């Protein structure tokens, strides 16, 4: 009997912020995982980096305005953590293997291409610098409008448009180069 009253007390002590985070976690975990993957976090580090993002989100949950879209807000956290990770990480080369995602539903880039094409897309994304990749992923893969991207990343609107243009050009160049290399094999 005493145990059930303790359980009721502990469940009553869950804060609104904790409940809000739990709902956000359920809705956003797969998106964060896939975003980090798209931003070039190696598969062996995805779990740890995802946890880092979620810790940052938890610390700032009170700042989330539910009127604004959730994904760009989460992307900003993922981008900052991925950027920090890449800055800290020692340069190491890993081959790009099968791309995985958590939710089982096809991603936008996966619906458009075969397995081999997905690997080429991932390799071409890897050739983009992180600032360009962030804008490219948000706009061309996640369908976020450029003004929202600029707000999310904290850059001027024209900078966001410029990065998108450069990212598209560099992505196409990298993709063509990789396709040529592939055809020579």
Enumerate domains of the chain plus CATH numbers.
13-90 (1.10.1740.10), 109-185 (1.10.10.10)
**Residue 66 has what pLDDT?**
85
Q: Which of 43-52, 120-129, 164-173 has the lowest mean pLDDT?
A: 120-129
Identify the band that residue 11 occupies on the pLDDT scale cut at 50, 70 and 90.
Answer: low
Does the structure show a pLDDT above 60 at 2?
Answer: no
**Residue 13 has what pLDDT?**
76
Identify the band that residue 118 occupies on the pLDDT scale cut at 50, 70 and 90.
Answer: confident
DSSP 105-160: SPPHHHHTS-HHHHHHHHHHHHHS-HHHHHHHIIIIIT---HHHHHHHHT--HHHH
Does the structure show a pLDDT above 80 at 117?
Answer: no
Higher pLDDT, 81 or 15: 81
Higher pLDDT, 10 or 166: 166
Contacts of 75 (CB under 8 A, 6+ apart): 35, 134, 138, 142, 144, 152
How many residues are recorded in the chain? 185
In whole numbers, what is the pLDDT of the chain averaged over residues?
Answer: 82
User: pLDDT, tens digit, for every residue of 65-106?
Assistant: 888 888 999 999 999 999 889 888 654 444 445 445 455 555
Percent of the chain clearing pLDDT 90 (strictly above): 46
């Amino acid at each position: 009997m005493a145990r059930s009253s303790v359980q009721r007390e502990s469940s009553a002590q869950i804060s609104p912020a904790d409940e809000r985070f739990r709902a956000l976690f359920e809705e956003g975990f797969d998106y964060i995982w896939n975003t980090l993957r798209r931003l070039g976090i190696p598969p062996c580090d995805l779990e740890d980096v995802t946890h880092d993002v979620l810790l940052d989100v938890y610390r700032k949950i009170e700042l989330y305005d539910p009127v604004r879209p959730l994904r760009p807000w989460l992307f900003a956290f993922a981008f900052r953590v991925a950027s920090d990770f890449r800055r800290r990480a020692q340069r190491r080369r890993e081959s790009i293997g099968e791309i995985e995602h958590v939710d089982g539903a096809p991603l936008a880039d996966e619906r458009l291409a075969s397995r081999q094409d997905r690997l080429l897309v991932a390799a071409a994304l890897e050739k983009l610098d992180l600032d360009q990749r962030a804008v490219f992923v948000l706009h061309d893969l996640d369908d976020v409008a450029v003004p929202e991207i600029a707000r999310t990343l904290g850059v001027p609107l024209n900078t966001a448009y410029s990065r998108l243009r450069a990212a598209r050009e560099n992505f196409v160049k990298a993709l063509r180069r990789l396709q040529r290399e592939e055809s020579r094999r």
